[in-house]
Amino acid sequence: MGSKSSIEGVLTAVVTPMDQNYGFNELGFREQIERQIIAGNGIFCGGTNGEFFALTEAEKCAVVDVAVDQAAKRVPVVGHVGEIATTQSIRAGRYVAAAGVDAVAVITPYFVPLSQQELVAHFSAIADALEVPVYLYNIPARTGNTIEPATAAQLASHPNIVGIKDSAGSYESLQGFLAIAKDCHDFSVFNGPDHLIHQGFLDGCAGCVSGLANVAPREVQAVWSHFHAGDVVASEQAQKTVSRLREQLYKVAFAPAAVKRAVRLLGYPVGDSKYPTQIGPQQDAQISAILAELNLRY
């Protein structure tokens, strides 16, 4: 079994660059990994902003292989391995663990509604089977399944389940999981929604998994670095920039597509989203205005 994790700070939910034929763009991905490392951020690959739901199995494997290789132990790499079937998640987890990640994250199964005890059985079986630390991944708006705090508390007793990434989007949800972390010091909470990063740190989150760090890597890192240095006021100011970016960008399109388009408009060859989405000149102009307003074209 993997040991309890000590990962903290910012993990960027890195976008998966595509070429003109919607194939995995390895060089573009390496560039994005390097961008994040330069900013001081760790890597969360194959997640929602990485469009895992639209990738083939071969592409998911390539993403984690390249991320681990490019990071070269300079920053933590967490690989997402959540699938609908427990057996599929275990298979993906074993591959990702062998690739050399520091931990895996496992989303709740999607499409099929599950009871809390079914979720316990699912996550426990995965954690039993893997030799790398496991983070639960709660994003009910996208999966239809919610990890309740009592369920997370039950799973926190597993020696190989080290924490949770909470992307429920509400302060109440975050508080429920942080209460578990206070009772179980080996259980870490990572905040998903970008508007709650600073508040999460104030309340005890070990870190955040940020989609907007693709667009503003230094600004998101500043929320953590200032807080970690004891400058809560500067951390809060950095959060205002991140929150403004979120407020404006997500008016344009659903998060993964909007984030990827913003990165592309910053001049990086990440291509289009692989899932069906339409962003045209009008949306490009809106996104460009947001980037200019926040002075993100560096």
CA distances from 20 to 16, 42, 269, 270, 272 (A): 13, 28, 10, 10, 8
CA–CA separation, 221 and 262 (whole Å): 18
For residue 228, the surrounding DSSP H or E stretch is helix 217-228
Marked catalytic residue, from 137, 260, 268, 298: 137
**Residue 134 phi, psi (nearest 5):** -115, 130
Question: Does the annotation place 209 within a ligand binding site?
Answer: yes
CA distances from 94 to 79, 107, 129, 131, 227 (A): 11, 16, 8, 8, 35
Marked catalytic residue, from 60, 165, 260, 274: 165
CA distances from 114 to 13, 117, 119, 148 (A): 26, 8, 7, 12
**Does residue 137 have an active-site annotation?**
yes
**Does residue 260 have an active-site annotation?**
no
Known binding positions for pyruvate: 209
Would you please indicate which residues are annotated as catalytic (active-site) residues? 137, 165
Known binding positions: 209
